Amino acid sequence: MKYNHLIKENKIKQEKAYPGEMKDLFSLAERDLKTAEFVVTQDWDWAFAVAYNSVLQACRAYMLSEGFRSRSVEAHKTTFEFMKLALGKEYSDLINYFDRCRVKRHKAIYQSKSAITETELKRLLSEAKDFVAELKEFCKPEL
């Protein structure tokens, strides 16, 4: 199985979604996209963090569609490791980009004010919208 090393390293566990959980996660992702667009005129750092969260929630829903959930230690990082394996080479550049956004978000939230540029924010918003919609389509039979 392509996820064996993540299981062996205790990064993910096999788990079924509870009824409605995937739908709820996609609702959160879509809410976060709207919130990020609203906040963009007020605070680029916070809008970036919320847009990043939309991607994370959609990825969590996709993981559940595959029957897995991240464990709590380094859950964000593990989610993107999983997604690279799940979606393959075609998506590796995009998943690597989102993983870099994870690091940038951490810096913006916990370490430094004004860490995000307008260009970075606009790119993440654009990529997040497309990716959330695409993952939702992948998971449609499960929703």
In tens, the pLDDT along 101-136 reads 999 999 988 987 788 999 999 999 999 999 999 999
> How far apart, in whole angstroms, are the C-alpha atoms of residue 81 and residue 60?
12
Domain ranges of the chain: 17-142
Residue 1's pLDDT band, with cuts at 50, 70 and 90, is confident
pLDDT tens across 22-48, in order? 999 999 999 999 999 999 999 999 999
Is residue 21 predicted with pLDDT exceeding 90? yes
DSSP string, the chain: -TTHHHHHTTSEEE-PPPTTHHHHHHHHHHHHHHHHHHHTTT-HHHHHHHHHHHHHHHHHHHHHHTTEEE-STTHHHHHHHHHHHHH-GGGHHHHHHHHHHHHHHHHHHHT-TT---HHHHHHHHHHHHHHHHHHHHHHGGG-
Region 60-87 average pLDDT: 96
Residue 115's pLDDT is: 87
Taking all residues of the chain, what is their mean pLDDT, rounded to a whole number? 95
Say whether pLDDT at 142 is over 80: no
At residue 4, the pLDDT reads 95
pLDDT at site 140 = 87
Q: pTM for the full model? A: 0.95
The CATH superfamily label for domain 17-142 reads Nucleotidyltransferases  domain 2 (1.20.120.330)
Residue with tokens 């879509």: 30
Task: Look at residues 108, 103, 97, 94 and name the one whose alpha carbon lies nearest to residue 44.
Answer: 108
